[in-house]
């Protein structure tokens, strides 16, 4: 049986209802909640965009001069509807959080690899099944979601990697669609 992992990418308030959010991000929340409420996941990984006070002096900060990812702020918190859905459907040991200082995260990749090793050691996948599927949701499709899909393909290349299209959003609908179109060539399935 395939073990499924739900990745909730940067579903922080600042990417939904605050300075970096938009109506498309707000609309995607219900689809992230629905994925979590399915209860079908072996593990749930929250990624959190996390920056230090010197963010505006970094390369990213100079190109995106909006201070965000600051621990302890309301914007840094995961959207409450998403937190509630995950906490109601998964045990604490099934829920992981990875703080990422940039778009793609080595810590995220290593976390996925550790789950892969756990899953494949159990040997529960039937002949012809993927041992593990990684389903991506979150923000922004063309930045952090895409970057971490690439990380997943690098760290667990034999896992099935999917993007739940309606559970993602980007800066604009056009950048979302561009990112979705880029998923196929890197062997990520759009569902």
Reading the chain (191 residues) residue by residue, the pLDDT tens digits are 899 999 999 999 999 999 899 999 999 999 999 999 999 999 999 999 998 889 889 888 898 888 889 899 999 999 999 999 999 999 999 999 999 998 999 999 999 999 999 999 998 888 889 999 999 999 999 999 999 999 999 999 999 999 999 999 999 999 999 999 999 999 999 99
Cβ contacts of 41 within 8 Å, gap of 6 or more: 4, 5, 6, 35, 90, 94, 135
Three-class DSSP category at 172:
coil
Is 190 within 8 Å of 183 (Cβ atoms)?
Answer: yes
The tokens for 147 are 């970057």
CA dist list (Å): 101 to 67, 68, 70, 80:
13, 11, 11, 22
What's the rounded Cα separation, in Å, for the pair 7 and 161? 10
């Amino acid at each position: 049986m395939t073990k499924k992992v739900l990745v909730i990418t940067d579903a922080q308030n600042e990417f939904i209802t605050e300075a970096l959010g938009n109506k498309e991000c707000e609309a995607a929340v219900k689809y992230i909640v629905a994925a979590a409420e399915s209860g079908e996941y072996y593990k749930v990984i929250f990624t959190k965009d996390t920056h230090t006070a010197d963010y505006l002096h970094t390369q990213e900060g100079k190109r995106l001069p909006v201070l965000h990812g600051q621990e302890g702020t309301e914007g840094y918190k995961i959207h409450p509807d998403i937190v509630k859905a995950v906490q109601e459907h998964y045990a604490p040991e099934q829920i992981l959080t990875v703080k990422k200082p940039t778009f793609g995260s080595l810590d995220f990749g290593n976390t996925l690899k550790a789950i892969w090793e756990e899953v494949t050691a159990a040997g529960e996948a039937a002949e012809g099944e993927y041992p593990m599927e990684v389903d991506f949701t979150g923000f922004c499709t063309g930045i952090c979601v895409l970057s971490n899909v690439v990380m997943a393909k690098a760290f667990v290349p034999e896992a099935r990697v999917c993007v739940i299209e309606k559970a993602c959003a980007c800066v604009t609908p056009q950048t979302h669609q561009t990112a979705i179109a880029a998923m196929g060539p890197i062997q990520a399935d759009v569902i």
